[in-house]
Structure 1
Amino acid sequence: MVLEVNRMGFEASNITVSLSNINIVNDISLRVKEGQFVGLIGPNGCGKSTLLKSIYKVVKPKQGKVYLNGMDLLNTDPKTVSRMMGVVGQFNEISFDFTVQEMVLMGRTPHKKFLEGDTEDDYEIVQRALDQVSLSGYETRSYSSLSGGEKQRVILARALAQQPTFLVMDEPTNHLDIKYQLQILSVVKKLSVGTLAALHDLELAADYCDYLYMVKQGSVVACGTPIEVLTKKRISDVYDVTCEVYTNPITGGLSIAYLSF
């Protein structure tokens, strides 16, 4: 499927990624409209993370095009891309230690000239980002001393400090307690910026995503609204599990009950 290039929003067209001469991602096309929260779902090893890495330029695709608001991301310098796109990765270990505030301040780097210092506005933006992820008071804490979930929230705060028009998130709720899973997805949802997120939890995907792409063995096998994609048969075929899909009587949302073997 070939997508037309629109002036606003995100589009990836015919992305193929090959590692060690094996196609991990096979001719995937997807779209995120302005302000839309789009989920990428599928079992471990299906190619979700590799696809996202090709979008934020860690892995070079074998073929395909990626556009954000009409800008060709794959042929644009990283600093320019970083002014528009924030990334929350899955693994966030660093070689050198920084304070939480220093980590989040790094999100302001794409907006600065060479050797330009941090301003009062930068510190205000950083503080708002920390407030949004409930890390106010952590400013002087060592990043390396934090738990996995706290580190993940710092990385989200750093992405928020970039003030991006588009977010890419790879399993953003990994290592988080339920409270912070809900908080982080709620924060992102309220931003009303285009978001493409690989998600592991199908019920969270159903609750927060406007649209889903389901991936199996490197290819998109279904796309649509959560209620269209998350059917009993499709979950069984893709995840190799037995389940029931039903309307939650309390929330009115979609719920999934997994049945034992």
Structure 2
Amino acid sequence: MIKTLMIDIEGTLVEHGRAIPGAAHAIAELAGRGFRIRLLTNVSSRPAEELARSLRELGFDGLSPGQIHTAADAARQFLVREGASYTDLLVPDRVMGLFGDLPLNRSAPDYVVVGDVGSRFSYENMSAAFRLLRNGARLLAMQRNLHWEAAGGAMLDAGAYVAALETACGCKAVLAGKPSADFFCTALDGLGPDTALVVGDDQTTDIAGARAIGARAAMVSTGKGRRIDPGLAQPDHVLASVVDLPALVNRLPSRSTLS
């Protein structure tokens, strides 16, 4: 029975800073019917509190930061589990506060943490990260997205720079965000994957993540989802947009009131 809806944000609920038409109403309807709404995003440059506020301003009433799990949150949780130090060299400014109580070591960290720092992906900073990795630090990628769609066109994302560091160092990054199974399992809150439906626009993150934990997946035809690549992880369901999600869950074994 479907109890939890794990829904992507960019390209699924929001596109180019605007809500997908009808998305806010669909989410409100599903929440009102008792489904656990969890928003899972590879956004690494904004904290959950800021994302929740932005979504409420776009009409997604009632969403709380506790319903949002970001790639930055996942990176923090990983460092806590490992008891590891980190360098903030490539940690985005707006999520620095998430790491404030963790051991910071800029000269010999356990991990070089990489999020989307935008213009701070300079030659100097990338070279400094490279040197730390060569000296024994490990690489922790908040996410591996290669690009994202801005209003003015495609932009390089943090994953492109993670790949560059991997190539230069001959190392493999630990992945905190999607499609990491740990990232999705956190949102399950102890429930089984058979109780979840993952909804998103990206086969390489959303659909692959669903497959990693054995959950069902629905792909929307907005954002990156306008074309399905037969060589990538395949969804169980394809929707024109998230507006069609309430009708889909009506057809799936589910429960309208959760204990």
Normalised TM-score (structure 2): 0.34
Q: Point out the structure with the larger strand share.
A: 1
TM-score, L = length of structure 1: 0.34
